[in-house]
Structure 1
Amino acid sequence: MSRGDSREAAPPPPEPLPVEVFDSHCHLDILKTPVPEVLAAARSVGIRRAVTVGYDLASSRWCAEAAAEHDDVYAAVAIHPNDAGDATDEVLDEIASLAALPHVRAVGETGLDYYRDWADPGDQHRSFRAHIDIAKRTGTALVIHDRDAHDDVLRVLTEEGPPDQVVFHCFSGDREMAKVCADRGYVMSFAGNVTFKNAGDLREAAEVAPPELLLVETDAPYLTPVPYRGRPNAPYLVPLTARCLAEVKGMDLTELCDTISRNGERVFGPW
């Protein structure tokens, strides 16, 4: 693909939201744009803040530093399940130390991924259980990566005992999974893939997810919402997903954004 291919071009900014909301999950370290520019673009459309999420030790350190440097950024730190073999005791000790920092408000993304075979399931389970323990010890939220592993993720949470705040990042379950999460008080964060044409199950899940257990995210630079699927994602594109969620739930957009903002402060603490 040539550098000038339109699929590499950043999408234009969407219509601004009527009230501010935030991006509950993105990877600012992977974006090619400096953080101040990312935040400025987001603010221009009503996205005031972002949670930048670690996936290995280096990215977790980066996220913690970025959150300390930028008032509108919080961090999450963890070893991704696809890299669970790297979650040695020494690495997990450093993740725990990072999680105790004031601008780090979550442990994640952690969990189980049975879609890819990049990490041994035994290593994934050991790492997931260790991250649950870190979240409980540090009083932070737990941000879960769950891919083709719903039953085991729910079982491990039950066996270990969940922390007070649990977020299923890029929620990937169906209506029944959403009902189970709702019954347990788990927060469901929806990404741009809820806008995809073939994502009927996700929209049904969003429809039944209680508003008080709902967040919105980009997972930037991945999962760019329609109509820009396949192009680079960034926090300024949250309005496209937020509008989809409001339509699916039959909610006023302002009401939805206000609810999501309250949910975010409950999950990650006040900004």
Structure 2
Amino acid sequence: MTSKSTPPPLPEPLRVPVADSHTHLDMQAGTVEEALERAAAVGVATVVQVGCDLKGSHWAARTAAEHANVHAAVALHPNEAPRIVHGDPDNWSRQGTAREAGGEAALDEALAEIDALAALPQVRAVGETGLDTFRTGPGGVAAQERSFRAHIEIAKRHGKALVIHDREAHADVLRILAEEGAPERTIFHCFSGDAEMARECAAAGYYMSFAGNVTFKNAAPLRDALVVAPRELVLVETDAPFLTPAPYRGRPNAPYLIPVTLRAMAAVKGLDEDTLAAAIAANTATAFDY
């Protein structure tokens, strides 16, 4: 019996190389070099390493500077902003306005650090930023929105792509993008909307990046969204070590598993894998301007 901790086997290599548009190498076992070698062996030639906090964003920028086939995205994750402003969520109700005032200054300092990182040439995107009402309750909404709006401004000022984390907040994410004016290149990481949202994103020219959960049995609405999503706006990602595609769900994810998800996506869209891979490779290079 295979252990849940056992990495899945390498899939058959893609004939057309693609990029993993969203991964977290710093959260995966092994070295960066090992991860990139396994990915390259199956046709995953490029990865976008995504930061979720200051430490991770600095790591992403440094790793991208050291590896030509790694590009960085830097940001404070939506759930990081409330932690900076309010501290431990369990104590929000007891901390009062004094902590919040000091926390807002700390958030401004953290955002200034992200702004400085976003100016670096190896940093191709600002993200993942956005809104998450699944893990953060009503008390954290204001901090999330403030951080999201600041990240949008940083991305536009530096001419970088914006990588969106949207969990159970579709309408508010779309509203804020409309209010602030979205950057020219905006990517919904781990797209989680339905077909109607896919139509809205397509109309706005937003890229939609699909992860391993598009292969899950209960993900029919997500597959419906993929059918609607225009080929020229579709990306593929692992979000590794999370969202390992079927039939390996629950085991460690890594960039080398991109072919599994891409082949499932090709079947959903009624395309051969080479055609979809070529489109995704071109879309990712355009979205991240590399």
TM-score bracket relative to the smaller structure: over 0.9
Question: Does 2:62 correspond to 1:65?
Answer: yes
Specify the alignment match of 1:16 in structure 2: 13
CA distance in 1, matches of 2:13, 2:224: 26
Deviation at 1:27, TM superposition (A): 0.3
Deviation at 1:32, TM superposition (A): 1.4
Question: Does 2:126 correspond to 1:107?
Answer: yes
Specify the alignment match of 1:132 in structure 2: 152
The correspondence of residues 176-255 of structure 1 with structure 2, limited to 5 A, is 176-255=196-275
CA distance in 2, matches of 1:33, 1:172: 29
CA distance in 2, matches of 1:246, 1:53: 25
Which amino acid letter does the alignment assign opposite residue 92 of structure 1?
L
Question: Does 2:113 correspond to 1:94?
Answer: yes
Aligned partner of 1:31 among 28, 33, 39: 28
Partner of 2:4, secondary structure, is helix
Aligned partner of 1:152 among 172, 186, 191: 172
Deviation at 1:204, TM superposition (A): 0.4
Specify the alignment match of 2:92 in structure 1: none
Which amino acid letter does the alignment assign opposite residue 262 of structure 1?
A
Partner of 1:29, secondary structure, is helix
CA distance in 1, matches of 2:276, 2:121: 28
Deviation at 1:232, TM superposition (A): 0.3
CA distance in 1, matches of 2:205, 2:2: 44
Deviation at 1:117, TM superposition (A): 2.1
Which amino acid letter does the alignment assign opposite residue 147 of structure 1?
R
CA distance in 2, matches of 1:268, 1:67: 13
Specify the alignment match of 1:46 in structure 2: 43
Partner of 1:6, secondary structure, is coil
Which amino acid letter does the alignment assign opposite residue 242 of structure 2?
Y
Deviation at 1:15, TM superposition (A): 1.0
Which amino acid letter does the alignment assign opposite residue 194 of structure 1?
V
Specify the alignment match of 2:282 in structure 1: 262
CA distance in 2, matches of 1:33, 1:188: 29
Give ranges in structure 1 of 5+ residues lacking alignment. none
CA distance in 2, matches of 1:33, 1:51: 17
Aligned partner of 2:191 among 164, 171, 175: 171
CA distance in 1, matches of 2:117, 2:2: 39
Give ranges in structure 2 of 5+ residues lacking alignment. 85-105
Which amino acid letter does the alignment assign opposite residue 78 of structure 1?
A
Partner of 2:48, secondary structure, is strand
Deviation at 1:158, TM superposition (A): 0.3
TM-score, length of structure 2 as denominator length: 0.90
Instruction: Give the aligned CA root-mean-square deviation in angstroms.
Output: 1.1
Deviation at 1:5, TM superposition (A): 6.8
CA offset digits 1:51-94 (Å, max 9, x no partner): 00000000000000000000100000000001113261111111
Q: Which structure: greater helix fraction?
A: 2
Deviation at 1:226, TM superposition (A): 0.3
CA distance in 2, matches of 1:42, 1:156: 36
CA distance in 2, matches of 1:264, 1:175: 22
Which amino acid letter does the alignment assign opposite residue 20 of structure 1?
P
CA distance in 1, matches of 2:61, 2:273: 32
Identity, in percent, stands at: 61
CA offset digits 1:37-62 (Å, max 9, x no partner): 00000011100110000000000000
Partner of 2:249, secondary structure, is coil
CA distance in 2, matches of 1:265, 1:185: 16
The correspondence of residues 73-84 of structure 1 with structure 2, limited to 5 A, is 73-84=70-81
